């Protein structure tokens, strides 16, 4: 029995490895992305069929040598969606981590800490932080709340919250550099900053009274946004507040991924959130160049 479990685990690892390899290839090759746009919505059957075709040498392809190492495993992959889903997620998470690391390092080196979170200069950085703070108050933030600031950057909102909040604040961000910067700026003992590599976080269910994510989902594909909304639903207390800002059009040029895979349509995002179980409170324009969607449970 134990041996069978160990063998299965090895098989799973092999299959994951094969899938990750195929997805790496997919990221490198624009022609594959064009041919199989469904992959990001987790519909990868046709991509796998193509890989099988290459492996079996039904046609010549420059990736034949890369794929044939994994050939015998692709056959079984076709029926193993439970392996495919985590593998595809893993690939997407790594993609975003790499993107933010490179972008933030470049922005810090060239233009400074405000540029890395989308501000044009120091004045705009401070002004934007103040408006974010004001919209949190308008959305029901209370002094005693336990707060999650998802994608907190380098503390643009936290610098205003620290004079107000007596409850606990947790700022999480995918970028290590931004988190290190935030820690240097904010010293209050009820403020904690953490790096998160995944949409899921290590907090218990219903831990937070208030969750905000300013200008984060703007940079993420629909699947990632869906995963985040599901996680925030788990983390938010009944009656708590969730504030999510996003750019409601395709004007943004600096984003992670492909603009065609992002969703900027407010009605779409609202339907997604309601489908997951949130209730609509309001949608406002707080003067951030973004819309703010306020939801509750």
Ligand X SMILES: C[S@@+](CC[C@H](N)C(=O)[O-])C[C@H]1O[C@@H](n2cnc3c(N)ncnc32)[C@H](O)[C@@H]1O
Please give the residue ranges that form the binding site for ligand X (CB under 6 A): 96, 100, 117-118, 151-153, 156, 173-175, 178, 196, 214-216, 219-220
- In the bound state, the residue with its beta carbon closest to ligand X is 153
Other beta carbons within 10 angstroms of residue 202's beta carbon come to: 7
With respect to ligand X, which residue has the nearer C-beta, 156 or 226? 156
State in angstroms the smallest separation of the CB of 70 from ligand X: 28
d(CA 173, CA 137): 22
**Both tokens assigned to 33:** 């992305």
Q: Minimum distance between the CB of residue 155 and ligand X, rounded to whole angstroms? A: 8
Q: How far is the CB of 224 from ligand X (least distance, A)?
A: 6
- Nearer residue to ligand X within complex by CB, 136 or 174: 174
Of 6 and 137, which has the nearer Cβ to ligand X?
137
Closest distance of CB 191 from ligand X, Å: 15
Can you tell me the distance from the alpha carbon of 207 to that of 147, in angstroms, rounded to the nearest whole number? 9
Supply the DSSP string of 255-283, one letter for each residue: -SS-GGGS---HHHHHHHHHHHT-EEEEE
Quickly list H helices, the chain.
Answer: 2-28, 30-35, 45-55, 64-68, 71-77, 81-111, 122-138, 158-161, 176-185, 222-235, 266-276
DSSP bridge partners of 294: 243, 282
Contacts with 5 (C-beta within 8 Å, 6 or more apart), sequence order = none
Query: Within its chain, how far is the Cα of 291 from the centroid?
Result: 18
Q: How far apart are CA 262 and CA 292, in angstroms?
A: 17
Query: What's the closest the beta carbon of residue 236 comes to ligand X, in angstroms?
Result: 17
Residues 189, 127: contact at Cβ < 8 Å?
A: no
In eight-state DSSP terms, residue 28 is H
Tokens describing residue 39: 């992959």
User: Quick one: 174 or 292, whose CB is closer to ligand X?
Assistant: 174
Tell me how far, at minimum, the Cβ of 103 lies from ligand X, in Å.
8
Of 19 and 217, nearer to ligand X (C-beta) is 217
Residue with the two structure tokens 């269910």: 205
- Decide whether 139 or 215 has the Cβ nearer to ligand X: 215
Nearest Cα neighbor of 293 from 274, 276, 280 is 280
Give whichever of 11 and 194 is closer to ligand X, judged by the CB atom. Answer: 194
Q: 55 vs 236, which CB is nearer to ligand X? A: 236
For residue 153, the minimal CB distance to ligand X (Å) is: 3
Rounded to an integer, what distance in angstroms lies between the CA atom of residue 95 and that of residue 19?
Answer: 15
In the complex, least distance from residue 198 CB atom to ligand X, rounded to whole angstroms:
8
């Amino acid at each position: 029995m134990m041996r069978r479990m160990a063998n299965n685990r090895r098989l799973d690892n092999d299959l994951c490895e094969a899938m990750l390899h195929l997805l790496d290839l997919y990221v490198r090759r624009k022609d594959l992305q064009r041919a199989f746009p469904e992959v990001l919505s987790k519909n990868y059957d046709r991509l796998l069929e193509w890989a099988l075709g290459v492996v079996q040498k039904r046609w010549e392809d420059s990736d034949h040598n890369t794929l044939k190492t994994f050939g015998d495993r692709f056959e079984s992959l076709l029926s193993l969606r439970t392996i495919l889903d985590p593998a595809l997620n893993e690939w997407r998470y790594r993609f975003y981590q790499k993107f933010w690391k490179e972008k933030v390092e470049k922005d810090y080196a060239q233009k400074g800490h405000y540029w890395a979170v989308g501000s044009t200069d120091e004045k705009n950085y401070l002004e934007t932080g103040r408006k974010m703070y004001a919209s949190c108050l308008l959305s029901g933030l209370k002094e005693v709340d336990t707060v999650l600031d998802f994608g907190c950057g380098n503390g643009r909102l936290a610098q205003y919250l620290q004079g107000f909040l007596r409850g606990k604040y947790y700022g999480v961000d995918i970028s290590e550099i931004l988190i290190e910067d935030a820690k240097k700026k904010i010293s209050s003992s009820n403020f904690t900053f953490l790096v998160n590599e995944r949409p899921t976080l290590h907090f218990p269910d219903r831990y937070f009274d208030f969750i905000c994510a300013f200008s984060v989902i703007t940079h993420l594909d629909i699947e990632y946004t869906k995963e985040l909304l599901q996680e925030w639903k788990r983390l938010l207390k009944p009656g708590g507040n969730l504030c999510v800002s996003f750019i409601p059009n395709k004007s943004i040029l600096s984003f992670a991924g492909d603009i065609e895979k992002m969703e900027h349509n407010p009605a779409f995002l609202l339907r997604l959130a309601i489908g997951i179980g949130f209730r609509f409170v309001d949608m406002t324009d707080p003067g951030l160049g973004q819309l703010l969607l306020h939801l509750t449970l």
